[in-house]
Structure 1
Amino acid sequence: MNLNVNLGLPFVSVTVMFRGQKLKLERVLLDTGSAGTIFKADVVGAIGVVPESKDVVDSIRGVGGIEYVYTKNFDTIEFDGICIGNFQIEIGSMEYGGINLDGIIGFDFIRAAGLIIDSVRMLAYSDS
């Protein structure tokens, strides 16, 4: 998959499925420095991702400070033909100083998918 650079950062598109509902996320940051994968609550709410009483609530810390998130297991997360099922995602407000993001693909997904990031050719792919 081609990486699109915006604001000096690599962005990709991913398609997610939650309880049978599919959504394409266009503005997803590929971030090897983020331990976890997070999607913006306002965006994934369109396919029924909402907080429920059984959800685990946690706090995450990053460059933008502390954010409270809840977790959901998504049916699938697909990235350029690489599809991982039953993947746990953090859901949060993602208000990061004016940067418009649908989500962040973190190292948990990068590792699970076996992604190789080629910054010379501006590609991310898996050889498996």
Structure 2
Amino acid sequence: MKINIQYGLPFVELEVTFRGKTLRLDNVLLDTGSAGTIFNANVVENIGVVPEKNDIVDTIRGVGGVEYVYVKNFNLIQLEEISQRDFEVEIGNMDYGMKMDGILGFDFISSAKLVVDTNKMLVYTSK
């Protein structure tokens, strides 16, 4: 998968499936410095991802400060041929001063055994 540079940062495109509905996310930050994966609530609500009574609510901290998120389990997260099933994702406002659909964190990067090749500007799996 090709890496696109925006704001001087690595972005990828991926598809997510939640309860049988699929959505393409075009601006997802590839972030080895983020422990978890987070999707923009305003974007994924288009496929029915909304807060529900039994959702886990958590607080995350980062360079942007503190943010409250809720946790959802996605059926599938797919970067071309690379995929993870039944993957837990945080959902938040993501008001970070730039347009992004989500952050693909180290939890996904390590579980999918991704290799980030900055020479060829590609992401692929070592599986």
The TM-score normalised by the length of structure 2 is 0.99
Task: Quote how far apart the aligned CAs of 1:40 are.
Answer: 0.2
Q: CA RMSD in A?
A: 0.5
Q: Which runs of 4+ in 1 moved over 3 A?
A: none
Give the whole-Å Cα distance in 2 for the aligned partners of 1:59 and 1:73.
Answer: 17
> 1:54, 1:127 → 2: CA distance?
36
Q: Deviations over 1:60-98 (max 9, x none)?
A: 00000000000000000001211111000000000002x
Is residue 68 from structure 1 mapped to residue 63 from structure 2 by the alignment?
no
CA distance in 2, matches of 1:85, 1:45: 20
Aligned length: 127
1:18-48: CA deviations, max 9, x gaps? 0000000000000000000000000000000
> Which residues in structure 2 correspond to 1:79-118 (within 5 Å)?
79-97=79-97, 99-118=98-117
* Distance (whole Å) between structure 1 residues aligned to residue 2 and residue 25 of structure 2: 15
Give the Å deviation of 1:114. Answer: 0.3
Q: Which runs of 5+ in 2 are unaligned?
A: none
Structure-1-length-normalised TM-score: 0.98
Corresponding residue number in structure 2 for 1:15: 15
Structure 1 segment 15-54 matched on structure 2, within 5 A: 15-54=15-54
1:78 counterpart = 2:78: yes
Note the C-alpha offset of 1:2.
0.6
Amino acid at match of 1:28: V
Q: Could you tell me which runs of 5 or more consecutive residues in structure 1 were left unpaired when the two chains were aligned.
A: none
Quote the Cα distance in structure 2 between the aligned partners of 1:7 and 1:50: 29
Secondary structure at 2:111 match in 1: helix
Which letter maps to 1:56?
I
Task: Name the CA distance, whole Å, in 2 between partners of 1:38 and 1:121.
Answer: 26
